[in-house]
Amino acid sequence: MQKNIAILGSTGSIGTQTIEVVRAHPDRFRVTGLTAGRNYALLIEQARALQPEKVAIGDESSYLLVKEGLRDQDIEVLAGQEGILEVAADPSSRMVVVALVGFAGLSPTITAINAGKEIALANKETMVVAGEMVMKKAAEKKVPVLPVDSEHSAIFQCLIGEDPVSVEKIILTASGGPFLYHSREKLMEVTPEEALKHPNWKMGDKITVDSASLMNKGFEVIEARWLFNIDPRHIEVVIHPQSVIHSMVQFRDGSIKAQLGMPDMRMPIQVALGYPERIRSSWGGFDFSHPAELTFLPADRKKFRNLALSYFAIEEGGNMPCILNAANEIAVEAFLKKRMKFSHMPDLIEKTMRQVAFLREPSFEELIETDREARNVAEKLI
């Protein structure tokens, strides 16, 4: 039977690749809902091709453009945050793919879980900001949260059939990004154009900059802590420039399981959409007939301070990861607009973490307020 899927953030990198997977398996998947932020033209194109029941454009000023573009189609057009939440909760979908960027993914994820949807999660900020809350809610509603990030998908696959108490540590691999071999001095001079040239992956601008600063890996540490219910002291980050081993799990007997594959996001997307079944794909696997070195390096938390800040945030707990995320979103935006140097981003984030009030057990509403306050503080610090 076909699985009905809603894709939140369908015009972004993960969203468009999810659509590729769906189109490759039309007998298995059907898209019932699509949402986009501002790219109304691509949303219209996707809607006409996939024929979902509902679409939502986050940018309300583009509502009439989408409405006009789909006027000859039997598709309901919605707008704004309310429209996105309506798609997330729509009864026609069984699974919701959360491919939104940043803090914007939190409310739709909670809404989808409350509606009893299976979650394919590509929005790591949701787990960074409110991972404990999200996993508790998912457990209450008895819905799975399936990771789409290649690293967490790898861990998820390595843990299938294993007793959780036998896990000694999780090993997250990181490519190191385009600045792996840069000195601290050279990092002060890098440009947005250089940061956006990731050596292995094709991703959106924000996550590509996060990868270059290793904040992305810091977020993944926090996400892994909640997804797999593991103490962050048992999560290690290792630099693996080739991006072939996507992550590993070490067990108490000393053995290690690793998941390997080509750096292609369609593979973990398909794992999440098809679970528990392995679906045949045409993406291709790693070719061992072509010799290749697989190398590993320790992650330098002094050079890439965002990684150290992420460990500090999850160890502090409470609303500290929320502050970290909000400050980082402001820092990345400022860097991309050339208002801030790459090497100054950790300074801004650390100062914001010191200035925003710490809450040990924040409510959902307090997380919303923490996000707002942290953004204001970070903006003023710039």
What kind of architecture, by CATH, is found in domain 317-382? Answer: Orthogonal Bundle (1.10)
Tell me whether domains 3-147 and 317-382 share a fold: no
Answer for the pair 270, 14: CB distance below 8 angstroms, yes or no: no
Q: What is the pTM for the complete model shown? A: 0.93
Please report, in tens digits, the pLDDT of each residue of the chain (382 residues total): 899 999 999 999 999 999 999 999 999 999 999 999 999 999 999 999 999 999 999 999 999 999 999 999 999 999 999 999 999 999 999 999 999 988 889 999 999 999 999 999 999 999 999 999 999 999 999 999 999 999 999 999 999 999 999 999 999 999 999 999 999 899 999 999 999 998 887 788 999 999 999 999 999 999 999 999 999 999 999 999 999 999 999 999 999 999 999 889 999 999 999 999 999 988 877 777 776 789 999 999 999 999 999 999 999 999 999 999 999 999 999 999 999 999 999 999 999 999 999 999 999 999 999 999 999 999 999 9
The superfamily CATH assigns to domain 3-147 is: NAD(P)-binding Rossmann-like Domain (3.40.50.720)
Q: Closest Cα to residue 256, out of 349, 350, 377, 171?
A: 171
Per-domain residue ranges for the chain? 3-147, 152-302, 317-382
At position 36, the amino acid (one-letter code) is A
Q: What is the largest CA-CA distance in the chain?
A: 62
Question: DSSP readout, 165-220?
Answer: GGEEEEEEEE---TTTT--HHHHTT--HHHHT--SS----HHHHHHHHHTHHHHHH
